[in-house]
């Protein structure tokens, strides 16, 4: 069964030419992890890489994971499972629903089982209850969270060493990606300042999460750009995305990367950066998320 767990991927770095950046003498580059794969996208591939290698090493053939109905992680896991020869099962949070994300997951062969919010909270218990006797089953936490995920995200820094950046920006859900970036910077002894834009309300809790995964991480969190919470939007965010996408040809979406670029835009307006600063933004992919929001534009 064992299929080589690697694929050549393409994640170029390209400049974004916008007058708003040039007016403040800023160079902004984009690391295009959205180009890695249409469905095993962005940071979800980074997070799955070592997790799947571990599963394969332990000769597990069945990936069991967890997420909300719009989870990019579920879709990435479903597609990766199909690609690398695993079976996959997802416990989906909440009432039974259908949407394009879950339809794609099922198309890739994932079994989707809905589970009420109370029971969903205790994932190790769910895994034990339903798969405890299945020696083939392999537990992957919600969002791909775990030490293997951090290791995969740290590799992003290995790919950006041609240039020295003053600042790196990324969107934060669980904080795993930014924790990995922090470890990567430490490994290469780079002084680059890391910035996270939490997409959930009350994002300060992430400092503790990040510290657990990457002790001594030096991360600035810009917590005021959540627009009311996870997957919440406001007209000014949608208008901003509309302009950005039309001006750059780079697709961003309202759940993660739209909030990220909105935050960067506002900070630039507020003269947050020294002139001549070099900024790298990480596009973490997840573009299928826009399928649930298209009607709002
Ligand atoms: C999952 C996801 C994130 C959040 O990553 P964390 O490692 O949980 O902080 C950011 N951007 C996109 C597009 C995602 O799908």
Q: Are residues 196 and 265 in the same domain?
A: yes
Instruction: Give the pLDDT of residue 5.
Output: 74
| 6, part of any domain | no
Domain final position from 126, 144, 162: 144
pLDDT digits 0-9 by tens, 36-79:
999 999 999 999 999 999 999 999 999 999 999 999 999 999 99
Q: Are residues 89 and 206 in the same domain?
A: no
Which runs of consecutive H residues, i.e. helices, occur in 58-172? 72-84, 100-107, 117-120, 123-131, 147-158
Q: Are residues 125 and 63 in the same domain?
A: yes
Q: Are residues 216 and 263 in the same domain?
A: yes
Q: Which of 258, 243, 249 is nearest to 293 (CA)?
A: 258
Q: Are residues 164 and 133 in the same domain?
A: no
- Identify the helix (H) or strand (E) that includes residue 265: helix 257-269
Question: Whole domain around residue 137: which residue ranges?
Answer: 43-144
Collect all residues with Cβ–Cβ distance below 8 Å to 227 and sequence separation of at least 6. Answer: 233, 234, 237, 254, 259
| 4, part of any domain | no
| 5, part of any domain | no
Q: Are residues 190 and 117 in the same domain?
A: no
Instruction: Give the pLDDT of residue 3.
Output: 59
Q: Are residues 28 and 48 in the same domain?
A: no
Question: Atom 2 of ligand 1 has which residue's CA nearest to it?
Answer: 173
Q: Which two tokens stand for residue 297?
A: 């534009």
Q: Please tell me the pTM assigned to this model.
A: 0.96
In order of 171, 178, 191, 259, the CA distances from 200 in angstroms are: 10, 15, 27, 10
The arithmetic mean of pLDDT across residues 6-28, rounded, is: 95
The alpha carbon of 200 and the centre of ligand 1 are apart by a number of angstroms equal to 11
Q: Are residues 218 and 291 in the same domain?
A: yes
Q: Are residues 118 and 165 in the same domain?
A: no
| 35, part of any domain | yes
Answer whether residue 1 shows pLDDT above 90.
Answer: no
11 alpha carbon, distance to own chain's centre? 14
The arithmetic mean of pLDDT across residues 251-257, rounded, is: 98
For ligand 1, say whether the CB of 258 is within 6 Å of any of its atoms: no
| 279, part of any domain | yes
Q: Are residues 240 and 101 in the same domain?
A: no
**Residue holding tokens 């009432």?**
95
Q: Is 94 left (phi over 0), alpha (psi -120 to 50) or beta?
A: left
CB 219 within 8 A of CB 198: no
| 2, part of any domain | no
| 3, part of any domain | no
* CATH code for the domain of 47: 3.40.50.1100
Question: Atom 3 of ligand 1 has which residue's CA nearest to it?
Answer: 173
Instruction: Give the pLDDT of residue 90.
Output: 98
Q: How confident is the model at residue 4 (pLDDT cuts 50, 70, 90)?
A: low
Task: Give the mutation target among 68, 173, 221 for probing the ligand 1 site: most ligand atoms within 8 A of CB.
Answer: 173
Domain final position from 116, 144, 172: 144
For ligand 1, say whether the CB of 285 is within 6 Å of any of its atoms: yes
Instruction: Give the pLDDT of residue 2.
Output: 53
The radius of gyration of the chain's CA atoms, rounded to the nearest angstrom, is 19
The arithmetic mean of pLDDT across residues 261-284, rounded, is: 98
For ligand 1, say whether the CB of 176 is within 6 Å of any of its atoms: yes
Cα–Cα distance between 121 and 109 in angstroms, integer?
Answer: 25
| 8, part of any domain | no
Q: Are residues 62 and 137 in the same domain?
A: yes
The alpha carbon of 262 and the centre of ligand 1 are apart by a number of angstroms equal to 16
In order of 142, 184, 217, the CA distances from 103 in angstroms are: 19, 36, 38
Answer whether residue 244 shows pLDDT above 90.
Answer: yes
pLDDT digits 0-9 by tens, 102-117:
999 999 999 999 999 9
Cα–Cα distance between 265 and 84 in angstroms, integer?
Answer: 39
The alpha carbon of 256 and the centre of ligand 1 are apart by a number of angstroms equal to 7
The alpha carbon of 133 and the centre of ligand 1 are apart by a number of angstroms equal to 32
Domain final position from 115, 144, 173: 144
Q: Are residues 208 and 97 in the same domain?
A: no
For ligand 1, say whether the CB of 177 is within 6 Å of any of its atoms: yes
Q: For the chain, what is the domain count?
A: 2
């Amino acid at each position: 069964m064992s299929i080589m767990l690697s694929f050549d991927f393409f994640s170029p770095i390209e400049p974004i030419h916008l007058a708003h950046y040039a007016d403040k003498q800023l160079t902004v580059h984009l690391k295009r992890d959205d180009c890695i794969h249409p469905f095993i996208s962005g940071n979800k591939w980074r997070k799955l890489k070592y997790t799947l290698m571990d599963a394969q090493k332990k000769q597990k053939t069945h990936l069991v994971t967890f997420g909300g109905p719009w989870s990019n992680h579920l879709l990435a896991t479903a597609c990766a499972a199909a690609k690398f020869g695993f079976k996959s099962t997802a416990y989906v949070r909440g009432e039974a629903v259908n949407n394009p994300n879950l339809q794609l997951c099922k198309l890739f062969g994932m079994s989707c089982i809905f589970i009420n919010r109370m029971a969903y909270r205790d994932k190790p218990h769910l895994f034990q209850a339903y798969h405890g006797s299945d020696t083939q089953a392999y537990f992957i936490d919600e969002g791909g969270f775990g030490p293997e995920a951090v290791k995969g995200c740290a590799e992003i820094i290995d790919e950006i060493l041609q240039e020295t950046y003053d600042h790196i920006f990324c969107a934060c859900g669980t904080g795993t990606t930014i924790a990995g970036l922090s470890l990567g910077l430490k490994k290469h002894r780079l002084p680059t300042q890391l910035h996270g834009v939490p997409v959930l309300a009350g994002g300060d809790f992430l400092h503790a999460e990040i510290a657990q995964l990457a002790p001594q991480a030096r991360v600035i969190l810009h917590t005021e750009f959540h627009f009311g919470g996870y997957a919440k939007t406001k007209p000014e965010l949608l208008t901003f995305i509309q302009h950005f996408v039309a001006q750059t040809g780079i697709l961003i979406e309202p759940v993660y990367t739209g909030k990220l670029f909105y935050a960067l835009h506002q900070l630039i307006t507020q003269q947050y950066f020294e002139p001549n600063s070099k900024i790298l933004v990480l596009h973490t992919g997840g573009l299928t998320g826009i399928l649930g929001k298209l009607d709002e534009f």
